[in-house]
Structure 1
Amino acid sequence: MVKSLVDTPQISPIPSRKLWMAAIKLPMYSVAIVPIATGTAVAYRDTGAINWAVFATFLAAAIVILVWENLCNDVFDAETGIDIHKAHSVVNLTGKKNLILAIANICLLMGIGGVLAISWLQQDAVVVSLVALCCLLGYMYQGPPFRLGYQGWGEILCFFAFGPLGVSAAYYSQTQSWSIGSLAAAVVVGIITSLILFCSHFNQVEDDLAAGKRSPVVRLGTKRASQLLPWVCAVIYAVTIVAIALQFFPIWTAIVLVSLPIAWKLCTFIGDHHEQSEMLLNCRFIAVALHFVVGSCLSVSLIF
């Protein structure tokens, strides 16, 4: 049986400030921002108006809900021992698993409270229902007894939570309606968000195997998984081009093509070093950069 991280803390020579910066993962919070910004941008294109109070409230709620998910993942991973070599786990840094879980749950309540306020003001339960479903998927990813991420379902859960559900919730919060355009945008956002999670598995294959986690990279092997990356990136651009052709997106959305060098860097870097886990520790941040640039270009093009 794999021993718990809390029982066997690992001492890292890396300065604690750098570990805390890695634990906080500030760049990763674009994952919360992009779906809200994109859904709101599609709504602006359709209606010509933005309710800034709703947007700001939803954005703040999304960020604290992501804090909840990240902290909970550290807690649940500590229970399985999969993070035994992860010095920047918040649980490893503090040694206070119960406190971290309590803080995480407070963040969840704050986030749900913000979204509930939007639904209450609009007298419509759709938005809070969609966000509650996103939270359920987030819990099922790592939380017991589900732990679906350990069965290789993490990327699929991520796609729906941050794509169709997240973007659609942001769109609905502005319009109280639905659109095919928002769904097309949601597919793009969902894929690039899942790509971040997919890339994060390359540097932890040994730990995943030891803990019984069957991530897609473990199942496919690092070589085949790296060969899949260009196809996933191609789908992002293909969906965008088709959506432009069908006039779901304006022609200006073609500016997402400026992200092609980042996609190329991501695919070639992982392809060249797929067996060198120590070199792939930060490859997820290349995926985060791709996520941010594609999401920003998509949102800006829809507004302007």
Structure 2
Amino acid sequence: MTTVIDNSSRSKLWRAAIKLPIYSVALIPLWVGTTVAIAETRNFNSTNFLIFLFASICIQVWVNVSNDVFDAETGVDVNKLHSLINLTGKETSNFWLWFGNSFLIIGVLTTSLLAFWQKDVTLLILVLLACLLGYSYQGPPFRFGYKGIGEIICFITYGPLSVSAAYYNQNPTWSLTALAASVIVGLVTCLILFCSHFHQVEDDLAGGKYSPVVRLGTAKSAQVLSWWGYGIYFLIAVFVLLKIFPPLSLLSFLSLFYALKLFTHVNNYHDQPNQVSNSKFIAVSMYLSLGLLLGIGFLLPSV
């Protein structure tokens, strides 16, 4: 039986396919790494920031598009109506792959320009490592996300690599505070990915994708999510007590509003795909608010 989709529904599906909220994962690492650099140097290079923001968005376009293509190849997205491939047909796979790759090339070339200005390839190496890990998550022959280690890849890519790159873009050296901040950003980013598994356990199993939620079951995964989330705030407090973070970093605790909403929602509906499917968007709200407030906490003492 063929599902008929009207123009209004198709428009909603395209908005979902574009994944605008997910582009926050390109913004927050850049924001946090930059604010740490400003706090430590009292300088801000707006040109470098804007150019690197453009590069980061381009690379995120590649990540989003290529993931849809690679998931379509395994059939794990067969019931995902807002997949680019399901919206346009399997015959468009090559087009979307090249479309995504063109944005990857633009992002890497833009980063190369920054590295050229710095006369230092470190920034480019960090970005290339992040891209390689990003590809390994879904791309053949690796498909590490299907083996249940996608969250580890996500943590390294959007945490230590991305935040360190953002810091290095402003201040070409290394920083303990930036590294600590990257751990927080990486852990919160992983929550978004973790939450995206709850509503597609059956499809993941059918496609051979053994995500952590598939391996643990939804009930235990919901408990892990809560402890994981509370652990992030505990770690922020530890970094403040150790004077790695300034006291105003505790502003990030205001994001507990979204965190508690997320934990309650997932614990209540973990085994109801239609109800729990929006959990990743609550996780994005937590991620955005925590990341923005953490950055403000770094900035305010230096104002």
| TM-score, with length taken from structure 1 | 0.96
Equivalent residue, structure 2, for 1:204: 200
**Within 1, Cα distance between the matches of 2:116 and 2:143?**
32
Question: Are the equivalent residues in 2 in contact too, given 1:44–1:303 (CA < 8 A)?
Answer: yes
Residue 42 of structure 1 pairs with residue 36 of structure 2: yes
How far the C-alpha of 1:45 sits from its partner, in A, is 0.5
Equivalent residue, structure 2, for 1:227: 223
How far the C-alpha of 1:28 sits from its partner, in A, is 1.0
Question: Are the equivalent residues in 2 in contact too, given 1:10–1:85 (CA < 8 A)?
Answer: no
- The DSSP-based 3-state class of the residue aligned with 1:23 is helix
How far the C-alpha of 1:12 sits from its partner, in A, is 4.6
How far the C-alpha of 1:104 sits from its partner, in A, is 0.1
| Residue identity in the other structure for 1:131 | V
247-256 vs 149-158, which moves further: 247-256
Residue 117 of structure 1 pairs with residue 113 of structure 2: yes
Equivalent residue, structure 2, for 1:25: 19
Equivalent residue, structure 2, for 1:63: 57
How far the C-alpha of 1:173 sits from its partner, in A, is 1.2
Q: How does 1:77-226 map to 2 (within 5 A)?
A: 77-95=71-89, 96-226=92-222
Equivalent residue, structure 1, for 2:242: 246
- The DSSP-based 3-state class of the residue aligned with 1:87 is coil
**Within 1, Cα distance between the matches of 2:257 and 2:168?**
33
How far the C-alpha of 1:101 sits from its partner, in A, is 0.6
Which runs of at least 4 in structure 1 moved beyond 4 Å after TM superposition? 8-14
| Residue identity in the other structure for 2:261 | K
**Within 1, Cα distance between the matches of 2:145 and 2:31?**
27
**Within 2, Cα distance between the matches of 1:190 and 1:10?**
38
| Residue identity in the other structure for 2:135 | Y
| TM-score, with length taken from structure 2 | 0.96
Question: Are the equivalent residues in 2 in contact too, given 1:164–1:187 (CA < 8 A)?
Answer: yes
**Within 2, Cα distance between the matches of 1:237 and 1:40?**
21
**Within 2, Cα distance between the matches of 1:170 and 1:206?**
38
Q: Name the % identity.
A: 48
How far the C-alpha of 1:29 sits from its partner, in A, is 0.7
| Residue identity in the other structure for 1:168 | S
**Within 2, Cα distance between the matches of 1:129 and 1:91?**
32
**Within 1, Cα distance between the matches of 2:281 and 2:81?**
18
Equivalent residue, structure 2, for 1:3: none
| Residue identity in the other structure for 1:237 | Y
**Within 2, Cα distance between the matches of 1:11 and 1:121?**
53
Match of 2:257 among 258, 261, 268: 261
- The DSSP-based 3-state class of the residue aligned with 1:248 is coil
Call closer, same or farther: CA 1:70–1:11 in 2, change over 3 Å.
farther
**Within 1, Cα distance between the matches of 2:125 and 2:247?**
33
Q: CA RMSD in A?
A: 1.3
Match of 2:47 among 26, 50, 53: 53
1:144-195 Cα distance to aligned partner (Å, 9 max, x none) = 0000000001000000000001000111111110011001100000000010
Structure 2 residue runs of 5 or longer lacking an equivalent are: none
